[in-house]
Structure formats: C-alpha cells, structure tokens
Amino acid sequence: RTDPAWWRNAVIYQVYVRSFADANGDGVGDLEGVRSRLTYLADLGADAIWFTPWYPSPMADGGYDVADYRDIEPRFGSLEQAERLITEARDLGLRTIVDIVPNHLSSVHPWFEEALADGPGSPARERFWFRPGRGKNGDEMPTHWVSSFSGDTWTRTVNPDGSPGEWYLHLFTPQQPDLNWSNTQVRAEHEDVLRFWFDRGVAGVRIDSAAMPVKDPLLPEVPARPGPGEHPFIDRDELHDIYRGWRAVADSYDDERILVGELWLDDARRFARYLRPDEMHTAFNFDFMTRPWEAKELRASIETTLAAHEPVHAPATWVLSNHDVTRPVTRYGRSDSSFAFAAKRFGTPSDPKLGHRRARAAALLTAALPGSLYIYQGDELGLPEVEDIPLDKLQDPMHFRSGGVDPGRDGCRVPLPWTTANTGAGEGAHAEPWLPPPAIWPGLSVEAQQHDPQSMLALYREMLRLRRSETDLENDQLSWLAASSGVIAFRRGTQFACVVNLGAEATPLPDQARLLLASGPLDGDQVPPDTAVWLHLPMVKIEE
C-alpha cells in the first residue's frame, strides 16, 4: 500500500525471531530464515512484520535484555542481513517494525558495566537507579516494589574492593537494570537509536513496557489504591514528554514512521492519552485479549475500546495473542475460558476442539473490527500452547522467578513447524530446536495445512484476502445489529456484516444475507455455537 495512513488498518504479523524459521540449522530461528519465508507472509496477507528484539543479547529474557541497539544478535544474523531483509520485505509490500525496550538494558550493556566499574556517585550510575540500601548496614532494599516477573526489584552490587555496595533497580530480572529517564543521555541515546533504524528503512517501532520507564524519584512504596498518575512506576505523566520527543524523530521522516505502544493500562481513558497526533500512533489493546469467551464481555470490550479511541481519532488495535500469553486455541478451550494470565497460572484442562473452533471464530471477529490487526506467529496455524515442555528445557525467567509456580511463557514460543518431514524450525535442521517441538507439530505445519481448504491457514488467508477487498472494512465505522443474547453482530459500511455466535444455541443467518466466509460449517441457515460468519447484508430500505 502506498497510503500514508497505512498503519490505520494494517495487518501486522509478529515474528519472534528465535522461533520463526531456522535457516542454518542450529536450532535457533534467524534472519535468513525470515527472508526465506517473506513470500509466505506476503501471501498470508500481512502489511507489516514486527520483529521482537533482534539485537545482541544474553537472552536472559528472550532478547528483551538488549546489549547493543546498533547490531544484530549473532545467532540471528548480521546487520547487513537485517538491512537486506528490510529492503526485500518492503519490495513485497511488507513494512518492518522493530522493538525498542526503553525501561531497561541488559546488564552486559557497556553502560551498565561502566556503572558497576565506576562506582557510587559516578555519572555512569546516574543513567540507572543506584541507591544505598536502607537499615543500619544498608542491607535492606530501597523499596518493596514487586516485579511483574514476581520477586524482588533490587539487587545489591559489590564494590570494587569486595565490600557490599549500592542496590540497583530492575522491574524485571536482575539482568535488566532499569534506566533513569530523567538523565538527558538516556533520552538522547534512544532518539539516536530510533534514527539508526529509521535510516535503515524501518517503518515503525513497538515500544516495550511503555508505561513503565519513568519512576517517581522519591521512590515511595506503591500505595494500596494509587489514583491516576500516582503509581511510582506506572503511567507517570512525564512519559508523555518522552514519547513526544520520539514522535518528533518519527515525523522528521518524509513517509510515515509509526510508534506502537505496549501499554498495559486498565483505564481506557488513561490509555488513550498516549494516542495523540504528537505522541503514539497506536497502542496494543490488551483488554480484548484478557476477556473470557462471552458475548457480553467481548462486546463490552469492543465498545469501551472504540469509545476510548474515537475522541482521539486513533484507530483501535486488535490482539488475540503475543509471545507473552497463552495461545488462543488453548485459552478459549478452557471451560472457564479464563483470562490470558490466569489461564497460564491456574490452567484448567483445555478442550482442543472447542478451543480451535473458538479461535477460528475469534480470528474472524477481530479481523472484522475497525483498526489494525496483530497476528502472533503460529496463530494462523492454530498452534496450541505447549504445556508439557520438560522442566530442564524451560527458559523463561518468569517461570524461574515465580519459584516454578508460573509455567512461564515458553509454551507459546516453541519454534514453528514448517514441514511434515521434521519437527524443527528449519528444513534439514541438524540441531534440536531451542525448545522441543511436540509430537503434533508436523500435522500442524505449513506444509500440512497449505493445500487443505479446511485448515486454519486457509481460513486466515481467505480472511485477510477479503479484508483487503471489502471496501466497507476501510473506514472506522461500526454499527451494531440487533442480536439475541450470546451473539455479537455488527455492520461495517453499507453491506458488510459479521455475526459471531458465542452462545449455546444456534442462531439464524439474518434475512437476505449472502455468506462470504464462515469460521466453521453452518447448519443450513443456522450459525452453530462458537462460529463466526462474514456476510454481505443489504441495508433494509427505510419505508417512506
């Protein structure tokens, strides 16, 4: 698309590089693997690819511990290969979005190594949050903030002379020290990193943990019920100025470069404050993803989302999953159809057939809504969460830091199955994939699905093809159609309509409807439970 507002209704495919495609057979996905699959992504109907962090990293948190923003992780490839990938993707109509992680760096980033070496009071330490401990011997942490990975958020350093030293803040793992965003070098460096990638043709950045980088410098404890802007490290007002600086960098380029925020905020209005003509273009809408499979819940989520976006003129985004949450096929197959995170931690058994049916219907629902659409790699194959990875193969720090209580996020990160011949990420792979593929992988592979018209892959392809050709899906308008309880039905434009049956009873197709696409078999003119349809539905003439 040459449209300058390409991002407003784009289909963005998320590539978790480590697990997408392995060209050199070392068991780890790589950039050449992605390059060899670019036509797959173009044929699928993607407009852009978002790459999770591909920079050099010790992988303490799957690359979200960046050691150098101006290079590529050697296991993934080289900077030259990244440049070629960006260009070749663009030639196929695929824009590139890279991941920026402003909250923290890797503990092996030169800045942090310098900070450790230079010691207390040094300018190098000013870029992070170093503090003396509390208590007589300084052996108590400066705060009792809790990490979203569970566990402590401060780690004590050792002075060059071997004595116990200052503590440093890490909202995630100790290998991810938090940056101090009131430091001017931190700001300048990140704006320079943006230019580095924009200069290489990147069309946008995804901003990781975007609500967290600014901290209250007084480091108070988290209040029991923090009011808006009162939390010491979430959604601080100073963030807006930072992202305005980023937007100015993006806007200094002729064609549109976008900022997509990863903002975990419950309050839809606080969320919308980041979506401004001088701030972020869009942000992930996680509300939908965390709701159970119930018509009332999902319709409420759609309404709240659209209502929050409308006044700021920003398009909504629709996200069914990503590399942090339980795969939809598994999530929606649980009898309690629990929330994304709850499902991980307290997972009840999942019915794969039910989950599969609902995930197909959910795909049709989200793809019919106004705004941009994110697809996490493997969801187009209907991959389930892999819940039986042997303990000694697990990698995710979220699992280990919870003392093993949280299964962690590895189950949605198992390398993709491409062929029926092997179970690895690449063809003719020699090494075992970095996470072991389950026995069902070959049957779910691209090769197994690509000529099967009933497959999830076929559904995604047809869905995205129609999404492009149906002009009614281009604008932001949505109007609800009358529907019985358990059913979500809406119209887009003058003739397109979507009906999703989340109830227990079949529901009839509306009169005069012409079927475009169904997520599963219909029963005559009845839409069975857990099924979605796309329709052409003529507007009823208003009587004169």
264 near ligand TEU, rule: CB under 6 A: yes
Closest CA to 271 of 298, 309, 232: 309
User: By C-beta, is 145 or 534 nearer to ligand TEU?
Assistant: 145
Pick out residues in 407-446 that bind ligand TEU (CB under 6 A).
Answer: 409
How far is residue 187's CA from residue 15's CA, in Å, rounded to a whole number? 27
Q: Where does this chain touch ligand TEU (CB under 6 A) — which range of 274-282, 323-331, 427-435, 485-493?
A: 323-331
Work out which of 30, 324, 379, 380 binds ligand TEU, going by CB under 6 A. 324
Q: Where are the beta strands (DSSP E) in 10-114?
A: 11-15, 48-51, 95-100
Q: How many chain residues are in contact with ligand TEU, going by CB under 6 A?
A: 14
Q: How far is the CB of 262 from ligand TEU (least distance, A)?
A: 6
Identify the residue whose tokens are 């979500």.
Answer: 488
Nearest residue (beta carbon) to ligand TEU: 64
Pick out residues in 393-412 that bind ligand TEU (CB under 6 A).
Answer: 409
Q: How far is the CB of 326 from ligand TEU (least distance, A)?
A: 9
User: By C-beta, is 339 or 341 nearer to ligand TEU?
Assistant: 341
319 near ligand TEU, rule: CB under 6 A: no
Work out which of 101, 314, 533, 535 binds ligand TEU, going by CB under 6 A. 101
Pick out residues in 335-354 that bind ligand TEU (CB under 6 A).
Answer: 341
User: By C-beta, is 19 or 209 nearer to ligand TEU?
Assistant: 209
Q: How far is the CB of 67 from ligand TEU (least distance, A)?
A: 14
Distance between start and end Cα atoms, the chain: 42
User: By C-beta, is 101 or 513 nearer to ligand TEU?
Assistant: 101
Work out which of 22, 30, 208, 380 binds ligand TEU, going by CB under 6 A. 208
Judge whether 41 and 94 are in contact, CB under 8 Å: yes
Work out which of 69, 111, 172, 288 binds ligand TEU, going by CB under 6 A. 172
User: By C-beta, is 48 or 456 nearer to ligand TEU?
Assistant: 48
**β partners of residue 252:** none
User: By C-beta, is 322 or 501 nearer to ligand TEU?
Assistant: 322
How far is residue 483's CA from residue 499's CA, in Å, rounded to a whole number? 9
Work out which of 148, 183, 402, 422 binds ligand TEU, going by CB under 6 A. 148
- What sign results for the dihedral spanned by CA atoms 460, 339, 312, 204? negative
User: By C-beta, is 45 or 261 nearer to ligand TEU?
Assistant: 261
129 near ligand TEU, rule: CB under 6 A: no
Work out which of 81, 175, 209, 301 binds ligand TEU, going by CB under 6 A. 209
Reduced to 3 states (helix: H, G, I; strand: E, B; else coil), residue 47 is coil
What letter would DSSP give residue 473? G
What letter would DSSP give residue 109? S
User: By C-beta, is 32 or 379 nearer to ligand TEU?
Assistant: 379
Reduced to 3 states (helix: H, G, I; strand: E, B; else coil), residue 178 is strand
How far is residue 50's CA from residue 12's CA, in Å, rounded to a whole number? 7
User: By C-beta, is 346 or 480 nearer to ligand TEU?
Assistant: 346
Q: Which residues contact 462 (CB under 8 A, 6 or more apart)?
A: 517
User: By C-beta, is 148 or 185 nearer to ligand TEU?
Assistant: 148
Reduced to 3 states (helix: H, G, I; strand: E, B; else coil), residue 456 is helix
Q: Is residue 202 packed enough to be buried (19+ CB in 10 Å), middle (13-18) or exposed (0-12)?
A: buried
User: By C-beta, is 96 or 209 nearer to ligand TEU?
Assistant: 209
User: By C-beta, is 204 or 529 nearer to ligand TEU?
Assistant: 204
The letter for the amino acid at 388 is D
User: By C-beta, is 168 or 534 nearer to ligand TEU?
Assistant: 168
Q: How far is the CB of 85 from ligand TEU (least distance, A)?
A: 22
Give kind and range of the element (H or E) at residue 247: helix 239-251
How far is residue 346's CA from residue 243's CA, in Å, rounded to a whole number? 36
Judge whether 115 and 121 are in contact, CB under 8 Å: no
Q: How far is the CB of 42 from ligand TEU (least distance, A)?
A: 26
Closest CA to 102 of 217, 221, 189: 189
Q: Where does this chain touch ligand TEU (CB under 6 A) — which range of 38-46, 288-296, 317-325, 521-529?
A: 317-325
> What is the number of other CB atoms lying within 10 angstroms of the CB of residue 504?
8
Q: Is 77 left (phi over 0), alpha (psi -120 to 50) or beta?
A: left
Give kind and range of the element (H or E) at residue 156: strand 154-158
Q: Where does this chain touch ligand TEU (CB under 6 A) — which range of 20-28, 322-330, 372-380, 432-440?
A: 322-330
Q: Which two tokens stand for residue 170?
A: 């890490």
> What is the number of other CB atoms lying within 10 angstroms of the CB of residue 58?
15
Supply the DSSP string of 353-416, one letter for each residue. Answer: HHHHHHHHHHHHHHHTSSSEEEEETTGGGTPPP-----GGG---HHHHHTTT-S--SGGG-SPP
User: By C-beta, is 299 or 409 nearer to ligand TEU?
Assistant: 409
Q: How far is the CB of 286 from ligand TEU (least distance, A)?
A: 9
Q: How far is the CB of 350 from ligand TEU (least distance, A)?
A: 18
Q: How far is the CB of 171 from ligand TEU (least distance, A)?
A: 8
Judge whether 261 and 271 are in contact, CB under 8 Å: no
Q: How far is the CB of 246 from ligand TEU (least distance, A)?
A: 17
How far is residue 56's CA from residue 70's CA, in Å, rounded to a whole number? 9
What mask, x for binding ligand TEU by CB under 6 A, covers residues 34 to 73? ---------------------------x--x---------
Positions that interact with ligand TEU (CB under 6 A): 61, 64, 101, 148, 172, 208-209, 262, 264, 323-325, 341, 409
